[in-house]
Amino acid sequence: MHLKQTLLFALISISMWAQGPAADPQKVVATIAGKDITAADVQKMTAMFSPQDLQQFQQNPQFILSQYFLFVHLAEEGEKRNLLEKSPYKEQYEGLKLQLLRNARLNDENNTFPVSAEMIDAYYKQHSSQYEQAKIKVIYIPFAGQVVPKGTDPASLKAAAEQAVQAGQSKRPEAEARTLATDIVKQLRGGADFAKLAEKYSEDAASKAAGGDFGFIKAVSDYPAELKTAVFALKPGEISDPIHQPTAFYIVRLEEKGLQPMEELRENIVLALRNEHMNLWMKEMNASYQAVIKDQDFFKAPAPAVPTGFPGVVPPPKAAPPKP
């Protein structure tokens, strides 16, 4: 939570700074190569920056100012020399312009596709299984287990590392943890107070302090599939069997189950609907632009040279020289 708050604060700070202080736009704030740089010049520059660029600018304004205005100077010099009218720069520029216009057209199609309230409501109902959420209480019983990553992607490796840390902190054998978890489930199903048993046995500090309250788990959360399956199979008030994980057993009581509120999902649904539209639109466009070869012999001849900088076309690799 602390890390999330820190990152959020940093992003808000950058956003507020990017809006610009209420300084005189004509105020000279720096000089480069004998030229005065005003507050307006800096604001014009940063308006084109990404959040990462802005962060670098805040950390080292002198370096970024120097590099940016050198960049602008060299571009202006190239324009004075009419370099865009000469090869290979002319061809490269035309390729870049085509790429920019193509991307602009795609973005325009996506951003201007109208999404009505009726479409959002229909999508929400059709995909309701994705939006299930369950409020639960948890008792966490760790044991000294061996962690094996479920994949090689960063998320799997990170999860395995976190589980390994947890496993290293527990000295309890798995068999002992299973016996304890089974006994706790028996007590709970017999009417024992969940909060008291969580306080006594759970080793998750946050939920333990809250009487076992874990908050909501969502169908699309990054929790293990077997954990979510067990949770969503419960009815309100029911206690799960001990849910086995690589380094712990989880005992869950379902408090309530339902769907995430529509308002929480509206933005994501709009993005999903526009993504569906773009997939269909691109499929239709690709079908309309399928080349029909009229002269097979022509294409058997050596391919013409590819213009330098033409987007999306990569010349074939040269054949390796024969080995002696």
Q: What is the DSSP string of 245-265?
A: ETTEEEEEEEEEEEE--HHHH
Contact 251, 139 (CB under 8 A): yes
pLDDT band at 145 (very low <50, low <70, confident <90, very high): low
Digit-coded pLDDT (tens) for 265-297: 999 999 999 999 999 999 999 999 999 999 998
DSSP assignments along 182-202, one per residue: HHHHHHHHTT--HHHHHHHH-
Q: Any idea how long the chain is? A: 324
CA 208 to chain centre: 31
Task: Give the angle 30-32-34 at the CA atoms, nearest 5°.
Answer: 105
- Whether residue 219 contacts residue 133, with contact meaning beta carbons closer than 8 Å, is answered with yes
User: Nearest to residue 50, comparing CAs of 24, 11, 89?
Assistant: 11
On average, the pLDDT of the chain sits at 84
The torsion angles phi and psi of 23, rounded to 5 degrees, stand at -90, 160
pLDDT at 5 exceeding the cut of 70: no
Q: Name the percent of the chain lying above pLDDT 90.
A: 70
* C-beta separation of 137 from 216 below 8 A: no
Q: What is the pLDDT of residues 51-82, one digit of tens each?
A: 899 999 999 999 999 999 999 999 999 999 99
d(CA 159, CA 116): 39
Distance CA 94, CA 97 (A): 5
CATH of 128-262, one of 3.30.300.30, 3.30.70.141, 1.20.120.160, 3.10.50.40: 3.10.50.40
pLDDT band at 178 (very low <50, low <70, confident <90, very high): very high
In the 8-state DSSP scheme, what is residue 316? P
Rounded to a whole number, what is the largest CA-CA distance in the chain? 87
Residue 17 has pLDDT above 90, yes or no: no
pLDDT digits (tens, 9 = 90+) for 185-205: 999 999 999 999 999 999 999
For residues 36 and 270, what is the distance between their CA atoms, to the nearest angstrom? 46
User: What are the structural domain ranges in the chain?
Assistant: 2-81, 128-262
Examine residue 88 and say whether the peptide bond preceding it is cis (omega within 30 degrees of 0). yes
122: left (phi over 0), alpha (psi -120 to 50) or beta: alpha
Strand partners, 199: none
Q: Is 82 helix (H, G, I), strand (E, B) or coil?
A: coil
What's the rounded mean pLDDT across residues 211-219?
94
Angle between helices 262-288 and 117-126 (to 10 degrees): 100
C-alpha–C-alpha distance, residues 290 and 278, integer Å: 18
Name, in order, each residue with C-beta under 8 angstroms of 144's C-beta and a sequence gap of 6 or more.
167, 168, 170, 171, 172, 173, 174, 247
Structure tokens at 125: 């109902």
Kindly report the pTM of this predicted structure.
0.63
C-alpha to C-alpha distance for 163 and 149, rounded to whole angstroms: 10
Give residue 184's identity as a one-letter amino acid code. I
| Tokens of residue 117, six digits | 């309230």
Residue type at 100 in one-letter notation = L
